[in-house]
Amino acid sequence: MKTADLVDHLNRISFFDDFTEKEKQALAQITGTVQNVARGECVIRKGTTDPTMYFVLEGTIVISAGEDLDHEITELHVGALFGDVPFVKAVPRVTSVLAKTDATLLRYHKDQMDQMDPLLIGKFKDQFLKLFVIRLDMLKSTISQNRVDFEKFFDSFQNIFKEIEVINQDTVVPEDDKQE
């Protein structure tokens, strides 16, 4: 992909909004960063520790609990970032990532990042921090909603047990009617 085309893609990805045109040009000139994947191709395998992060430039990517498209957790579209946690901290991947359609990805390996200008590294870190705060807020909201849902479920369950107790009390067999 030509540098100018890659810069155009970077201009459409919100992660790079705070980067200058010159910085985007520098990122676009790093060799080996564009990866084309075919539909169904596995980009990341669950359990691996490769410290590479990816941005979706074209196509649709699937986060999967398994190693195929049948265990889809969510879809990622143009502009989405994935693979960033093992990029920041060396931990095994907890999901697999596959191409749902033919796709073009922008990939950066940790070794490439370590060789970048310190100002670029700082901007990446700032963006990671913003992204992680957004994800924590989303997780907090999900947990809060799940707690509310669980409390409603638990209350319903308690009401059912109370109704069962009432039914059981109403249908107690007198001692005289019990068979010996």
pLDDT digits (tens, 9 = 90+) for 99-123: 999 999 999 898 888 888 888 888 9
3-state secondary structure of 97: strand
pLDDT digits (tens, 9 = 90+) for 77-94: 999 999 888 777 888 888
Tell me, what amino acid is at 28? Answer: A
Radius of gyration of the chain (CA): 26
CB 28 within 8 A of CB 10: yes
- Count of domains for the chain: 2
Position 71 scores a pLDDT of: 80
pLDDT of 37 strictly over 80: yes
Q: Is residue 180 part of a domain?
A: no
pLDDT of 127 strictly over 60: yes
pLDDT of 162 strictly over 60: yes
Residues in the chain: 180
Domain limits for position 150: 118-171
Shared-domain flag, residues 101 and 158:
no
Shared-domain flag, residues 104 and 123:
no
Shared-domain flag, residues 94 and 123:
no
DSSP state of 99: E
Q: What mean pLDDT value characterizes the chain?
A: 85
Shared-domain flag, residues 11 and 38:
yes
Q: Is residue 177 part of a domain?
A: no
Shared-domain flag, residues 22 and 54:
yes
Shared-domain flag, residues 133 and 92:
no
36: tokens are 């084309």
Shared-domain flag, residues 133 and 112:
no
Average the pLDDT over 153-160 and give the result.
71
Q: Is residue 178 part of a domain?
A: no
Nearest in space to 30 (alpha carbons), one of 104, 99, 120, 119:
120
Tell me, what amino acid is at 95? Answer: T
Shared-domain flag, residues 84 and 130:
no
Q: Out of 76, 99, 116, pick the residue that ends a domain.
A: 116
**What stretches of the chain show up as alpha helix (H) in DSSP?**
3-11, 21-28, 84-88, 110-114, 118-170
SS3 of 82-133:
ECHHHHHCCCCCCCEEEECCCEEEEEEEHHHHHCCCHHHHHHHHHHHHHHHH
